[in-house]
Structure 1
């Protein structure tokens, strides 16, 4: 699709040229004028006739159809701040903004023609006239916009996508995720604007689209190419119940134990569990042990894998019984009352004297026996 050009009526173009020249003179003199950029509209689109050089002390804006600002030709008038009056030529599609611009919704081809604005101020009245041309969109396969890409299934950071805008127009715009782009360190646009290359696609690249702009601010967009970018996993997390500290989970025999493994990627990861070096048949993210046994003790490894990106991460945890605690030692101190100490000292003293006497008596008996034998 593209825009048809206005019919070759030389008088219309002479009128438009005269309007442009008049606008230049008005701009230089400070006179109000209708912006030339707003004097072209498209059928079924909104058209805004914008005023320039508008003074600040405006009392009323009045818009007329044609070059005559008579009451019968009035479309709409607006008195700031809130008074609005439709005129005889009001069709229900017109309005005047707070800055005095005329808005025409759903512009029609018969809206083409001269428009006059009258601006009343405290210092007098100013008028300006401009020729509005409404053009029609039409189907034209030679200058329509279509888009193609070398691939739509991609891997983040590894693949690049090359998109081509198939059109004969030279005014091409590119949109990534419906946001206009003019190229950057990651994206390159060819000199003729027809080719866009995204180097090392990102997971955030969702769609591609091109558009042609043969009339300012009126875009003909192509269909959208949706991108599916595989990525990840970036990491893996392993949550346990009971809580594991420094990779060790302490649990008693017969208790409930659950291991929950999580990894995020596109497409979703596949899960593998390894127990003491042996691959388990479980391929889910959760590993549940309702009643822990001795055979279930040991090391566990969760592996998350993305088959598209060929990336894998793992996390380990070891299940061990609780640490055995030694029996507490009780320190006892011997306490002897003072009076008992005195008694023990007396007994020790008397007992020592008695023992000395016994030893002396025994020595005496031994000596007397030796004498008798001699």
Structure 2
């Protein structure tokens, strides 16, 4: 029996109608009702009975909105645990011991109405429910307006290509982290468009995902961005070592100048010597320094994509001689000998005067004593 499948846009309305229909039958016949949730083809469909009284003698499930004999799928008798297949039976469909209908590996044409007849011995109750099987959605696609941008300058707009109409099902990721609207990020109300206003060099991976009705995330391909940045700074290494912006070197000595910088894409280099272009290499080697090679050198680093440039200057000049400044007084060797001799004679003279004074003093005391 073939049942036409409702359009995807109206499945929620159909579920609501089916629920109302089931509730109406429930109210009219007593307690039994059927609940089901939409599922995706390939997954199990499940129609669950609720409010089932005690003492059920038989569950009989039917395809469609009636319980005729030619529409029966299968019946189950709890007292004897006996299953009875019907004209609409297939190996994918069966009844659990609690009377629920399970459809394994569901197909799109399993969508439709299902009716259960419950024999309680003294009465029979019926309920009809709706099962919706959805097609497995394709993974969402993704596109961007550009894949090459300049750091903190160029915006990027990305579109998630999906048929999802529920905005809450769509998610965006930058560098594998989920993002939402903020000062740097704008997401459209339907969440299908993402705008990154300012990207850093580390923001180079974008993707989107859609959560299907089973809660499974279906992710798009990854978009890799090339973010141009730099040059950040210019580092100048020299041999011999420099002192500030001055490199002292003697005529005839070797000089090595190495200019480096962090940049993407790889930067270009230019060496300027005393205002004239000299080289486009990152390193400059002067095997034997000449007078003409003295002066100011400038290394210019340029990023052709970001259109940014930096430079560093250094001056090569001869080492400056620092005069020796002597303080105090200086004595020649002859003067040293003279002063030593005079010091010795002065000492002898003082010793003689002291001895004479002592002798005279004791002689005077002796004379007075006599």
Q: Give the TM bin, normalised by the shorter chain.
A: 0.5 to 0.7
Q: Displacement of 1:261 after TM fit?
A: 0.6
1:157 and 2:152 aligned: yes
Distance 1:279 1:114, change over 3 A: farther
Tell me which residue corresponds to 1:62: none
Q: Displacement of 1:307 after TM fit?
A: 1.2
Q: Displacement of 1:178 after TM fit?
A: 2.8
Tell me which residue corresponds to 1:56: none
Q: How does 1:1-374 map to 2 (within 5 A)?
A: 145-170=140-165, 171-280=169-278, 282-326=279-323, 331-333=329-331, 334-335=335-336, 336=339, 337-338=341-342
For these two proteins, the number of residue pairs brought into alignment is 244
Partners of 1:199 and 1:283 lie apart in 2 by: 35
Judge conservation of contact 1:271–1:284 (CA < 8 Å) in 2: yes
Q: What does the per-residue CA deviation read over 1:182-208, in whole Å, with 9 as the maximum and x for residues that have no partner?
A: 233211111111110100222112122
Q: What does the per-residue CA deviation read over 1:244-297, in whole Å, with 9 as the maximum and x for residues that have no partner?
A: 1111111111112111111111111100111112111x1111111111111111
Partners of 2:249 and 2:192 lie apart in 1 by: 65
Instruction: Please give the secondary structure, in 1, of the residue aligned with 2:212.
Output: strand
Q: After alignment, is 156-165 or 175-184 more displaced?
A: 175-184
TM-score, normalising length: structure 2: 0.55
Give the unaligned 5+ runs of structure 2: 1-7, 23-35, 44-75, 77-90, 108-133, 347-370
Where do 4+ consecutive residues of structure 1 move more than 4 Å?
Answer: 39-44, 110-116, 129-140, 327-331, 339-342
Partners of 1:263 and 1:113 lie apart in 2 by: 71
Instruction: Please give the secondary structure, in 1, of the residue aligned with 2:292.
Output: helix
Tell me which residue corresponds to 1:345: none
Distance 1:174 1:276, change over 3 A: same
CA RMSD of aligned residues (A): 4.3
